[in-house]
Amino acid sequence: MCRVLRRASRMLGRRGAFLTSFGTLWTLYGFGQLVEPMPTRQGIRLLLYLMPLSAWACCWIVAGLVAVAAAWLPEGRDWLAFPALLLMVVPWMCSYVVSWWPLDDNPKRWVTALIWAVAAVPVIVVAGWREPPRPKRVEAADER
């Protein structure tokens, strides 16, 4: 079992591990919105003019699944995952900013907007990361 995990870890690399974790997070967030939607929708009211919450939830799920699938691709081919993750966070962040100011819907929405902004930062940072070179395979005879 450990050998399988080590091999998967090597195949994923750092970017892939990040995409897997954030993709899973996005998928679970979307699933949560489908199963038990948020009770108060003040901060996302503008988004709900564009699509119902169930459609947004499906978009979260699709973005997450794209990231998880792209995690297994080599560096450079996984690029699609990063905009997919950002395309979900940025509208939510902007909606919360607008609900705080200028609409003044809720004076505390800036906190939620800041949380979504902070969630976007690692996506942007990791998108620019290069995978470190993989160590060369050591022969079994050299290990003795």
Q: Are 82 and 64 in contact (CB under 8 A)?
A: no
Rounded to whole angstroms, the Cα distance separating 85 from 65 reads 10
Rounded to whole angstroms, the Cα distance separating 109 from 132 reads 39
Residue 11 is predicted with a pLDDT of: 81
pLDDT digits (tens, 9 = 90+) for 34-76: 999 988 888 898 999 999 999 999 999 999 999 999 999 998 9
CB count within 10 Å of CB 84 equals 22
Residue 137 is predicted with a pLDDT of: 60
Q: Return the residue matching tokens 């979504």.
A: 116
What the block records as the tokens of 140 is: 């079994």
* In the chain, domain spans: 12-130
Distances (CA, A) of 48 to 41, 74, 117, 132: 9, 36, 20, 42
